[in-house]
Every structure is written in C-alpha cells, then in structure tokens.
Amino acid sequence: MSSQFSSGEILSIIVAWIVLSVAITYQKLVGLLTGTGGLDVVTAGFVATATGFILHEMGHKFVAIRRGYLAHFRLWIWGLVLTISIVTISGGGLVFGAPGAVYISPSAAGFYGYDSSRGSGDPEEDNMVISAAGPGINLAFAIGFLALLFSVPPGFLSTVARFGFFLNAGLGSFNMLPVPPLDGSKIFRKSIPIALGIAFPLWAMFIFFNFII
C-alpha cells in the first residue's frame, strides 16, 4: 500500500500544530519563560490543539481517502505568518488560527490501496461526508472533554479538559457556519438535517458555556 502521507506532509502537520499551540497559549508560554506561568496550561493547550485542529484535519483526510480521493495537508505560509504576527502584536489577546488545511482532489483508483468505488458516485454527497468528518470529530471531543471536566477534581486533567472542550466547541461551531468555504456551507447545501445534527449541539455548547454561565 502506498503511504497515505506525501513527502513532507507529516512535518507540515507538526509545524502547524506547534504554531497554533503556541498561539493559543502565548500568554501562558511567555509567563512560563519568565518564570510566572505554569507548564500544565501550556501542555493542555498543545493537547487541545492536537484534538481540535490536527484530528479535525485528519478526519477530512482519511474520510476523503476512503472515498477514493487524494488528500494532503498543506501549510498556508501566509496563514502561519498571520497567526504568529497577530498573536505577537496583540500580546496573546487575539488569535488567528489558519496554519494550513487538507486539500482534496480526484484520485486514480487504488492510489492509496483503497478501491475508489467506495465513494457514493455523487460528488456533492462525498463533499458533504468529507466536510462533516472534521466538525464531527470536534463534536465528539467536545462532549468527551466536557464529561471529563465534570468528572475530575481541579488539576491538570481539568485544565486539559477545559482547553480541549473550548477549542473543539469553538472550532467546530465556527466551521459549521453555513458560509463558504467553511465545512458547514457544504453540509447544509446537501442535507440540512445532517448539518443541524452536527451544528446545533456545537452551537448550543459554545453559546451556553461562553455567554450564559
């Protein structure tokens, strides 16, 4: 079976993960370097980014591969520059997270060792399923981290759970907005019930835990 990762792709994923993790934990990371911050919060941020962003993108990638498409994660250089610049200039008060994304294109049959006939034969349906994989993973992790948050005492695990929940709920909620080129626009276009089934719990959790309690 051919490798599912192209040359340099894993390095690109690691770079995107580190840059975004540094961005969301910038203030705590600066505090850690100056002796006034804690390693637990920085570690929690890296864990949250791994689930909220990296696994979101890998969901798109592997579902696309299973449905007979080529799928590669690519860094967006301007996105990296903006992410680093904005968080540095704002002192960590504002985070713009767009270091890269999975790019999908038609595949020759069997490129990854899979049968491309696994696809539906309907590009719109394939696009919906592939698009739903990312926010679907965010929803699953948001629920899992929320359950963990309510089941452990204050400490490292609760810090990881808090970061993980808010990043997954936030990223998933944003991506489910029915605005091109976000995932939500492709899912809503094909199936409103499926889109609402993913979007509503994400939006409800994000709004409730950010603006109500």
User: Range with the lowest mean pLDDT among 1-5, 95-99, 111-115, 163-167?
Assistant: 111-115
Contacts of 21 (CB under 8 A, 6+ apart): 45, 46, 49, 50
The confidence band for 4, taking pLDDT boundaries of 50, 70 and 90, is confident
Lowest mean pLDDT among 39-43, 77-81, 135-139: 39-43
pLDDT at residue 58, as a whole number: 95
Angle at 175 between CA 173 and CA 178, to 5 degrees: 95
Average the pLDDT over 165-192 and give the result: 93
Question: Which residue, chain included where needed, has tokens 């759970």?
Answer: 161
Q: What is the mean pLDDT of residues 116-124?
A: 66
Cα dihedral 100, 29, 51, 86 sign: negative
Using a 10 angstrom Cβ sphere, with 0-12 exposed, 13-18 middle and 19 or more buried, the burial of residue 213 is exposed
Q: Which two tokens stand for residue 178?
A: 């029915």
Pick the range with the lowest mean pLDDT from 25-34, 76-85, 185-194. 25-34
Quote the pLDDT of residue 148.
95
Q: Where are the alpha helices (DSSP H) in 107-191?
A: 123-151, 156-175, 183-190
What is the value of pTM for the model shown?
0.86
pLDDT tens digits, residue range 152-162?
Answer: 999 889 999 99
The beta strand positions in 18-145, using DSSP E, are 69-75, 100-106
Tens-place pLDDT, residues 17-47? 999 998 888 888 887 777 666 778 888 889 9
**Residue 51: both structure tokens together:** 């689930």
Give me 104's structure tokens. Answer: 């999908």
Work out the average pLDDT over 119-147.
91
| Range 4-14 average pLDDT | 89
